[in-house]
Amino acid sequence: DSGVTQTPKHLITATGQRVTLRCSPRSGDLSVYWYQQSLDQGLQFLIQYYNGEERAKGNILERFSAQQFPDLHSELNLSSLELGDSALYFCASSDTKGGDTEAFFGQGTRLTVV
């Protein structure tokens, strides 16, 4: 158990809909990262928050947004969903701003857009 909790584990929704994925980081970790992993694709970095503020941004679509709340949990919002958004979405946390300590990953949310 990494200590990072992601909900829900599975999500099936229709094209055009909006969903929210939730992540609770390990106790004490200030950084939260979001990744997308499609079939046969690597982990694509989406966005990172550190102590409530956006710190790094990857190739995140404009239809996607995220935030980190004062209690440090984070949410990833995906809107106007397309079939190609079907993927595993991972959240990770670390105790620093990034790179110099390990990142702990959650078990992921499997999103299926039909």
Partner 1 sequence: SQKIEQNSEALNIQEGKTATLTCNYTNYSPAYLQWYRQDPGRGPVFLLLIRENEKEKRKERLKVTFDTTLKQSLFHITASQPADSATYLCALLGSGYALNFGKGTSLLVTP
User: Contact positions toward partner 1, by CB under 8 A?
Assistant: 2, 4, 33, 35, 41-43, 45, 48, 55-58, 88, 90, 92, 97-108, 110
Beta carbon nearer to partner 1, 14 or 100: 100
**70 touches 88 (CB < 8 A):** no
Closest CB 75 distance from partner 1, rounded Å: 18
* CB-based burial, 9-40: b 16+ in 10 Å, e otherwise: eebebeeeeebebebbbbeebbbbbbbbeeee
Beta carbon nearer to partner 1, 57 or 63: 57
Closest CB 100 distance from partner 1, rounded Å: 5
Query: Two tokens at 40?
Result: 């046969």
Q: Which of 90, 94, 104 is nearest to 42 (CA)?
A: 90
Q: Which of 83, 111, 86, 62 is nearest to 16 (CA)?
A: 83
Beta carbon nearer to partner 1, 76 or 103: 103
Closest CB 72 distance from partner 1, rounded Å: 18
Closest CB 105 distance from partner 1, rounded Å: 3
What span, in angstroms and rounded, lies between the C-alpha atoms of 88 and 36? 6
Beta carbon nearer to partner 1, 17 or 41: 41
